Amino acid sequence: MDRAKQVPLSVGMYVLVWVVCLKTLAPIVAWIGNSFAALAVTGFLAALACNACGMVLYQKRRLVAIGLHWNAASARNAALGIAGGAGSASMVIGIPLLTGAARLRTVANEDATWATAVFVIALLAFGAAGEEMFFRGYGFQVLLRAFGPWTTVVPVGVIFALMHAANPASTPLAIANTAGFGILFGYSFLRSGDLWLPIGLHFGWNLTLPVFGVNISGFTMGFTNYTVEWTAGPLWSGGDYGVEGSTLTSAVLFLLAAFVRRAPVLRQKVQLLEEA
């Protein structure tokens, strides 16, 4: 098939399978009760399905060829990603705590148990992996091969942000910051050639915020006995959306980008990009 026709068909099929799976699975996992948990589980399963269809039906390859092969380089890249994500999130929380713009307070929380912590951490891992598989997986790589790096990375990063626009307490600044993350995650894929670096960055960031009782993209996890009380306004705190909607995150994004650029990432082969 002509490449000009193959790209829209491949990506269209990819998105269609994802949407159908989301719609089909949503009622099934509704019993979980928690809206974030339902989104994480359905998003992960839908991402698995659309990537499997793309790789198996169109490319005749295994699912792991989207960048999920596990080896020493994968482990290193994942660890670097988690460190970068967790470190940058700690800065966004730590700077206000050190400057008096916020304070850490202990609260009574009956959900602060080891079982809840394991459950939430697993959900955050599924959520990060599912989003990165969908936004940086088969469809992204097909576009990357057809149109090149930045004509793919930037638009997909913007779409990634717009998909978060319906989250609770979303704001224009929150969407702008999320676009920054989306573009950075795309760039991290270019650097590593695997999904482990962007998954690590995404997971490290998402895991660190709820440890301090801070909302993630408008959702409250609440699995520790801590919460952050702000004396600064929403421009610094992000309001109910969480710090991802703050100017602090806007600034730290540049530092995280510098980290990704300089980190000793081990580059792996992207099979779809190696094809003629």
Per residue in 75-102, pLDDT tens? 999 999 999 999 999 999 999 999 999 9
Q: Is the pLDDT of residue 276 over 60?
A: no
Q: How much is the pTM? A: 0.94
Residue 26 lies in a domain: no
* Single-letter code of the amino acid located at 44: F
Residue 106 lies in a domain: yes
Residue 47 lies in a domain: no
Which pair of tokens denotes residue 90?
């700690």
Structural domain of 244: 70-274
Number of domains in the chain: 1
Cα separation, 210 vs 120, in Å, equals 9
Cα separation, 86 vs 258, in Å, equals 15
Cα separation, 161 vs 43, in Å, equals 15
Residue 162 lies in a domain: yes
Cα separation, 138 vs 110, in Å, equals 42
* Single-letter code of the amino acid located at 268: Q
Residue 43 lies in a domain: no
Q: Say if residues 179 and 157 touch (Cβ distance below 8 Å).
A: yes
Cα separation, 10 vs 204, in Å, equals 31
Residue 187 lies in a domain: yes
Residue 125 lies in a domain: yes
Residue 230 lies in a domain: yes
Backbone angles phi, psi at 235, to 5 degrees: -60, -30
pLDDT digits (tens, 9 = 90+) for 202-249: 999 999 999 998 999 988 887 888 889 999 899 999 999 999 999 999
